[in-house]
Chain A
Amino acid sequence: MGSASSPSSESHLDCDVLVLGGGPAGTWAALEAAKSGARVILADKGFCGTSGATAPSGTSVWYVPPDPERRHAAIVSREALGGHLADRAWSARVLDATYDGLNHLGERGYPFPLDEAGAPIRVSLQGPEYMRLMRKLVKGAGVRILDHSPALELLVDGGGAVAGARGIRRQQGDAWRVHAGAVVIATGGCAFLSRALGCTALTGDGHLMAAEAGADFSGMEFSNAYAIAAAFSSVTKTLFYKWATFTDAGGDEIPGAASNGGRSVIARHLQTGPVFARLDRADDAMRQSMRSAQPNFFLPFDRMGIDPFTQRFPVTLHLEGTVRGTGGLRIVDETCATGVPGLYAAGDAATRELICGGFTGGGSHNAAWAISSGRWAGRAAADHGRRAHTGAARQGAGTVGLRDAGARPFDPAEAARTVLAEVHPFERNYFRTEAGLGAALDRLDRQWEGLRAAAAADRDGVLRTREAAAMTAVARWMYRSALARTESRGMHRRMEHAGADPAQRHYLTSGGLDAVFVSRRPAPALATNGAEIAA
């Protein structure tokens, strides 16, 4: 059994597939695994149905009917923004799986709006409605849900295959241990405790657990997405600022400031003073459409007594890290396997470069990826999990906070603050430089060494300790990758290397705990025209 000290009260469960994370990707994975007859357990850090970045918001979805021309146009339209790193074959697969998934959702009762002819319009989802339904479907499929049950580490068998996980139950004050034939990591991206909506629990926990079991990452340099929000608010909805006029403290319009293509101008201004917005470019019809499209966007304004269409309000940029970035666990095949036997990845925890390269403009592609990758990972995990040899000895793969590595105590809150100070500031993460990234890495590496020499955390401190360790690890993969990409591509921007370097149109693999590595992989061949896809 595991070498870590076992809590006195630990519930022990067995299943074929354990899904970690109960957002869109995790629930789709659980549904698909259960559909194929597997015994499935889903463990959520919070509450499956309200957890994650999707539930409190609304999102467009990359839903395109199977018309070859429209599909082709959808695929090529975003290739330049993503720095030509997306893969057309993967994009086509995702469009297929998403179309099918959303149609299924409609059949299962999601209240899509109807057009004039009474046909459903399936290009967006309301987060509360969507995730409430997903919870219901998951439960109806016989999946056992463990709420408020964050995983702390993966369990591996003697051959290094992932064979379960263990964690704590926050509301019972005890622990769980699940032996599984396969595990799906669907724990979301890492947003470094910024105030971006729904991102507080997204601290890269799954990234750390997977790395401890031997998995690696791709595209971690594409991890510096910042979203626009009212300065007082958590509600990020960059799309709506397309209709904004941005002004400085004196009320003068800021030249070049825009939600897309001019967000760096906003960041520059925020470094020296306040920036204000007013959504005055929306006409009356659009104002009404916006209100009916996203009630959550208007809630903070209504409650503060601000009319965002007619009154100026201060704005800020919240870091969305890899949630709206595109880097994550590297996928090695079409089943969303990670390369570690028994371990699969889905949703924002996995790399989304395959469909959007180094940039996502909104939730659309990430939502499609969550549905698609969740379904593929769930199906493959069920196949693998049912065949996996059971009864093998398992041990915990976890490191920091779980096993005594020294006597040195440390404060997880202080460790978290140290990471945030390296990844939140625009001058470090938005406007990246060799000197800035190098200095940050020195400090982050030192912090990791300190964490590695620390004593195991106690029951009350173990979750925050693992979060701090995970954010430290994610930041190191991010910045080591960002240092290696000596160009600007997608959302990754290097101040001393403006523009993309054709010789660097490749993917970057990263990983490692004590020693972080970065290596190159070739990107798919550039299509000279789209005929092969349209055909």
Chain B
Amino acid sequence: MIEIVSPSRCTACNICVSACPTNVFDKTPGAPPVIARPDDCQTCFMCELYCPEDALYVSPKAGGWQGISEDDLVAAGTLGSYRAAIGWTAGTAELRRVDTMHRVLKGG
């Protein structure tokens, strides 16, 4: 479930407000969006992927939050980690072409 909108990183571009498929966020004039309807969050991590500032953190717990701090996430390199893993950050674009599903399908 969406847990953190980092006020220090967020530029209030509101891309997450648009991109969230279940309309969890609300715009706030001149400020970061608010998590208005957390119970509607489906823990799909799409908002993280669409955030150009790596300002969002989705807890992996589908039913709740982890109570984790932004400092801990930064220290662990977690903010933006999913976006990097699929090749959607500037330095990781070559990963977009890495998909070893064919090996998984053949294996075992």
A residues in contact (CB < 8 Å) with B: 45-47, 49-52, 55-56, 58, 60, 111-114, 121, 123-124, 126, 128-129, 147-148, 170-171, 195, 197-201, 232-235, 239-240, 242-243, 281-282, 286, 288-290, 292-296, 299-304
Contact = CB atoms under 8 A, between A and B. Distances in A.
Interface in B81-106: 81-82, 85-86, 88, 96-105
Contacts of A198: 21, 42, 44
Nearest to B61: A232
B6 interface: no
Nearest to B60: A300
Interface in B13-72: 17-23, 40, 42-46, 49-50, 59-63, 66
19 contacts: A47-B19, A47-B20, A47-B21, A50-B46, A56-B44, A128-B86, A129-B96, A197-B44, A198-B21, A198-B44, A200-B22, A235-B43, A235-B60, A286-B103, A286-B104, A289-B103, A293-B100, A293-B101, A303-B66
Contact of B43 (A45, A49, A233): A233
Contact of A239 (B22, B42, B49, B104): B104
Given A47-B21, A289-B103, A304 B44 contact: no
Interface of A is mostly: loop
Contact of B46 (A56, A111, A282, A288): A56
A303 B78 contact: yes
Nearest to B83: A128
B50 A234 contact: no
A233 B96 contact: no
B88 A128 contact: yes
A112 B97 CA distance: 6
Given A128-B88, A171-B23, A292-B99, 20 more contacts: A47-B20, A50-B44, A50-B50, A56-B46, A60-B101, A113-B97, A121-B102, A128-B46, A195-B62, A197-B44, A201-B22, A232-B63, A233-B60, A243-B108, A286-B108, A293-B104, A295-B82, A295-B85, A300-B60, A303-B59
A233 B23 CA distance: 20
Contacts of A233: 43, 60-62
Contacts of B60: 232-233, 235, 299-301, 303-304
Contacts of B97: 111-114
Query: What 5 pairs between A and B have smallest CB-CB spacing?
Result: A46-B21, A300-B60, A124-B101, A56-B44, A200-B42
Contacts of A304: 60-61
B21 A201 contact: yes
Contact of B99 (A282, A288, A293): A293
A113 B99 contact: yes
Contacts of B101: 58, 60, 123-124, 293-294
Interface residues of B, number: 39
Contacts of B44: 50, 55-56, 197-198, 234
Contacts of B105: 60, 123-124
Contacts of A129: 86, 96
B20 A292 contact: no
Nearest to B44: A56
A195 B43 contact: yes
A289 B19 CA distance: 29
B77 to A, nearest CB: 11
A128 B19 CA distance: 12
B21 A51 contact: yes
A88 to B, nearest CB: 23
Contacts of A292: 98-100
Contact of A299 (B19, B23, B45, B50): B45
By CB atoms of chain A within 10 A, which of B17, B44, B45, B102 has the most?
B44
A110 to B, nearest CB: 9
A234 B98 CA distance: 24
B32 to A, nearest CB: 17
Contacts of B19: 47, 49-50
A290 to B, nearest CB: 6
Contacts of B96: 111, 126, 129
A113 B86 CA distance: 13
A299 B107 CA distance: 22
Contact of B107 (A47, A50, A232, A289): A289
A55 B43 contact: no
A353 to B, nearest CB: 24
B94 to A, nearest CB: 9
By CB atoms of chain B within 10 A, which of A114, A199, A232 has the most?
A232
Contact of B62 (A232, A288, A301): A232
Nearest to A243: B108
Given A113-B97, A201-B21, A232-B61, A296 B45 contact: yes
Contacts of A295: 82, 85-86
A299 B42 contact: no
A234 B42 contact: yes
Contacts of B40: 200
Contacts of A240: 104
B17 to A, nearest CB: 7
A114 B94 CA distance: 12
Contacts of A56: 44-46
A123 B102 contact: yes
A171 B17 contact: yes
A170 to B, nearest CB: 5
B74 to A, nearest CB: 14
A126 B103 contact: no
A126 B99 contact: yes
A162 B103 CA distance: 46
A242 B108 CA distance: 8
B63 A281 contact: no
A55 B104 contact: no
Contacts of A289: 100, 103-104, 107
A286 B103 CA distance: 8
B85 to A, nearest CB: 4
